Amino acid sequence: MHSEYTTIYTRTPRSLLFAIVANVGPGGTNRPLAVAYRQHHDAYNSHTSYPRVRHMVADTLSLIDILSDPANRAPLEAERALAKDWYRRSSGDELPTHERPSVPDTEQPPYMPMDKSREPVQQLPPLPWREDGVSQFPFSATCVLQALQRDDASTEATRPGDIQFQPLSTVFRADCLEYGLIVLDISDLDHVKYGIIAFPTCYMAEVPCEDENMDWDPVEDDQPEQVDVVLASPRPRVPLSIGQWVRKYCLWLSLDEAPRILELEERPLADAATLDYIWPPELDHHPQSSSDMVASSASSVTIAEEPLQTVPAGTTGTGRPRSA
């Protein structure tokens, strides 16, 4: 018998950074009108990631619906015009990439054996409110709040303290275990586009192997003494549709059993240019080896092969962003 350092499980990011962008920067480049961080709460340290995926899909669909709503078109067009002028006037004041802020990482849930996977986990504390991400373009920020704090009786309901607006200069560095990025392009309000950049975390440990044909069994075999959480590599700087993302990172999920995923897959995909400001090309470091990965001592969890569940659709209001 020999031991092998290998991936035991993978999980999708727990939280997300949402960036609403448009071609309002110098020369028609993309710049954000709102950047918001939304944290997700796992009810248990369970062996599944599907509540996280379901939450991501529901949030993205809700944002697209609100940003595409004809009732919101005039104020969004007005803010795009204001943003174009604001970015033109402030172009000389933009910080260099290495000085721009980013959302810090969060410690991942501790390891628990499979027989304790239904034990409740400690909830993340509320995030402090920040004004600096709201003041420039308040209607766009209100759209984000309406979309992410919808009242749909979902088990993944987002609390007011789970959303924190970030400065418009925030960058996504693709080096954190906790969160991924969802970018929404509102350059054309008739065709709001989205893209997913969310890399899984790999739970790795030194485990015994009887031979090359016998994998470690999480139930029958001894538990590993230490499990490391390692960010997946490589991390390509390419926005994916939900279908592309699921086929790449969630092979356990059957698309035929996930109608909300199929609904999101029908929406237009953002192109790579939407990432130029929120994830600048100079930060695309493409780590290739384990020495380049982000790792921390943490726990092992597995992904259950469970389908996503549908989330009730929202209703349309008038005169303000629609709740989805």
pLDDT tens for 116-133 read 777 777 888 999 988 777
| Residue 305 lies inside a defined structural domain of this protein | no
| Residue 312 lies inside a defined structural domain of this protein | no
Residue 141: the pLDDT is 95
Residue 250: the pLDDT is 85
Which domain, by its residues, includes 32? 2-298
Count of domains observed in the chain = 1
**How confident is residue 167, by pLDDT bands cut at 50, 70 and 90?**
very high
Q: Inform me whether the pLDDT recorded for 297 exceeds 70.
A: no
| Residue 34 lies inside a defined structural domain of this protein | yes
| Residue 316 lies inside a defined structural domain of this protein | no
| Residue 322 lies inside a defined structural domain of this protein | no
Total-model pTM = 0.84
Q: Inform me whether the pLDDT recorded for 27 exceeds 70.
A: yes
SS (H, E, C) the chain: CEEEEEEEEEECCCEEEEEEEECCCHHHCCEEEEEEEECCCCCECCCCCHHHHHHHHHHHHHHHHHHHCHHHHHHHHHHHHHHHHHHHHCHHHCCCHHHCCCCCCCCCCCCCCHHHCCCECCCCCCCCCCCCCCCCCHHHHHHHHHHHCCCCCCCCCCCHHHEEECCCCCCCCCCCCCEEEEEEECCCCCCCEEEEECCCEEEEEEEEECCCCCCCCCCCCCCCCCEEEEECCCCCCCCECHHHHHHHHCCCCCHHHCHHHHHHHCCCECCHHHHCCCCCHHHCCCCCCHHHCCEEEECCCCCCCCCCCCCCCCCCCCCCCCCC
| Residue 63 lies inside a defined structural domain of this protein | yes
**Higher local confidence (pLDDT), 296 or 208:** 208
pLDDT tens for 240-254 read 999 999 999 987 777
**Higher local confidence (pLDDT), 181 or 305:** 181
| Residue 28 lies inside a defined structural domain of this protein | yes
| Residue 319 lies inside a defined structural domain of this protein | no
